[in-house]
């Protein structure tokens, strides 16, 4: 890979980050600074946790050249199962959570079978799944089920304990997490640069990397400081999302499975000729997507404190939009989990800012639609210009 290609990919990512900064600045100004209040920042994370979780899986799906329209319905269906087990059957909530994850894996395997081995396009398979599991959700959770144990509710409402106390009203645990995150980021970037040099790949200029790390580190520490001032400190959901981002970033960037996903999305015929088992890879992509739907169902049901068939509406659109805004290519082969997370945050910031400003929900939907269209158009135009150059 040439320096020009490396810089092109990097600049796209930095452009997305710059867009997030601009959106936050405009939203903060439009809300009179209310958006950046500590409790609102914590709420922003809690409200968008389901998008962040689903977008992690959707990146893999889209990079491989597929799409999944069923995730919202699957989340509703699995939430209904959690309700039956924990409330109607009085099953201990940890077992209900484990069962939800298993059901998610089974549903993902169901979709993966039809896509990978019967070779029905994922659009059709997951469209059918959207209808099937929404119908099943209405059957098992048509009547809202409430009364979960406090332990289950705490998954979405709880925070890490303040075991180290406070320093000038800042939660020390949260500050430590922020510092560890910055150290991990620097270490991973230095390691990636060394690996690129070792394998003959032109890395980005050293000064550019240092500047990037400074900007990102300042951003992480700023968010950490704001969260450390919130009522709860670090929410459990932030830890869950952080762990998922770390695991799946490693899977996509450091494993054979991840390289196969990019290869399939980049050039399917070349992937087949190179000996990649495309059927198995596609099958496992949807298994992982099902598992993440299970995690999202646990989070959403815990946050609502009830299981109902009405949840999950448009979740698939939110996850897909986050990926596209975050730079995942519509045609497959290109995309990063970090970009999808930024895309999800852009949508989340817009939602919260528009809600604080009391903008009509219909107008909010319109604005989000224009943002998505602009992001995809920018991505396609950038690629065309790169090919011409």
pLDDT in tens, the chain (389 residues): 444 444 455 566 677 777 788 888 888 888 888 888 999 888 888 899 999 999 999 999 999 999 999 999 999 999 999 999 999 999 999 999 999 999 999 999 999 999 999 999 999 999 999 999 999 999 999 899 999 999 999 999 999 998 989 998 899 999 999 999 999 989 988 888 888 888 787 787 888 788 888 888 988 899 999 999 998 889 999 999 999 999 999 999 889 999 999 999 999 999 999 999 999 999 999 999 999 999 999 999 999 999 999 999 889 999 999 999 888 988 889 899 988 999 999 888 888 888 887 888 888 888 888 877 887 777 677 667 656 55
Token pair belonging to 377: 């158009």
Matching residue, tokens 């409330």: 87
Burial of 143 from C-beta contacts in 10 A (0-12 / 13-18 / 19+): exposed
Residues 6+ apart with CB under 8 A from 373: none
58 neighbors 71 (Cβ within 8 angstroms): yes
At residue 9, φ and ψ (nearest 5 deg) are -65, -40
**CA distance linking residue 122 with residue 114, whole number of Å:** 8
Give the rounded distance of the alpha carbon of 8 from its chain centre.
Answer: 23
Structure tokens at 129: 């799944």
3-class secondary-structure state, position 64? coil
Tokens of 40: 């609102």
306 beta partners: 146
Write down the pLDDT at residue 13: 67
Q: What is the pLDDT of residue 200?
A: 80
pLDDT digits (tens, 9 = 90+) for 189-208: 888 888 888 878 778 788 87
Q: Determine the Cα–Cα distance for residues 294 and 357; give it in Å rounded to an integer.
A: 33
Which of 64, 68, 48 has the alpha carbon at shortest distance from 342?
Answer: 48
Exposure on the CB side of residue 102, measured as CA atoms within 13 A: 8
pLDDT value of position 11: 60
- Tell me if 117 sits within 8 A of 55, measured CB to CB: no
Q: What is the model's pTM?
A: 0.92
CA distance 27 to 350: 7
């Amino acid at each position: 890979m040439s320096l020009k290609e490396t810089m092109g990919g990097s600049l796209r990512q930095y452009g997305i980050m710059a867009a997030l900064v601009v959106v936050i600045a405009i939203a903060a100004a439009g809300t009179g600074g209310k958006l950046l209040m500590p409790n609102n920042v914590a709420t922003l994370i809690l409200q968008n946790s389901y998008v962040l979780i689903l977008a992690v899986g959707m990146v893999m799906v889209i990079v491989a050249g597929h799409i999944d329209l069923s995730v919202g319905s699957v989340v509703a269906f699995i939430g209904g199962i959690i309700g039956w087990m924990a409330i109607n059957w009085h099953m201990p909530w940890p077992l209900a959570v484990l069962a939800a994850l298993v059901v998610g894996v089974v549903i993902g395997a169901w979709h993966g079978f039809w896509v990978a081995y019967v070779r029905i396009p994922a659009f059709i398979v997951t469209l059918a799944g959207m209808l099937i599991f929404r119908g099943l959700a209405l059957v098992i959770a048509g009547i809202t089920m409430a009364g979960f144990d406090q332990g289950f509710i705490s998954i979405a409402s709880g925070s890490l304990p303040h075991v180290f106390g406070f320093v000038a009203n800042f939660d020390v645990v949260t500050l430590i997490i922020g510092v560890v995150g910055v150290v991990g980021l620097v270490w991973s970037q230095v390691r990636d640069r060394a690996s690129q040099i070792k394998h003959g790949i032109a890395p980005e200029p050293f000064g550019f990397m240092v500047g990037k790390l400074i900007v990102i580190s300042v951003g992480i520490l700023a968010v950490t400081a704001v969260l450390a001032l919130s009522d709860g400190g670090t929410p459990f959901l932030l830890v869950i999302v952080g762990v998922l981002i770390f695991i799946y970033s490693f899977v996509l960037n450091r494993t054979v499975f991840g390289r196969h996903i990019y290869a399939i999305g980049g050039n399917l015929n070349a992937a087949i000729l190179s000996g990649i088992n495309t059927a198995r890879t596609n099958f496992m992509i949807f298994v992982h997507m099902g598992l993440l739907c299970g995690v999202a169902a646990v989070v959403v049901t815990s946050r609502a404190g009830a299981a109902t068939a009405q949840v999950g509406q448009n979740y698939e659109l939110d996850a897909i939009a986050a990926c596209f805004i975050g730079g995942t290519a519509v045609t497959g082969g290109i995309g990063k989990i970090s970009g999808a997370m930024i895309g999800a945050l852009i949508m989340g910031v817009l939602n919260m800012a528009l809600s604080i400003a009391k903008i009509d929900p219909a107008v909010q939907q319109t604005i989000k639609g224009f943002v998505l269209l602009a992001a995809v158009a920018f991505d396609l135009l950038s690629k065309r210009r790169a090919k011409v150059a």
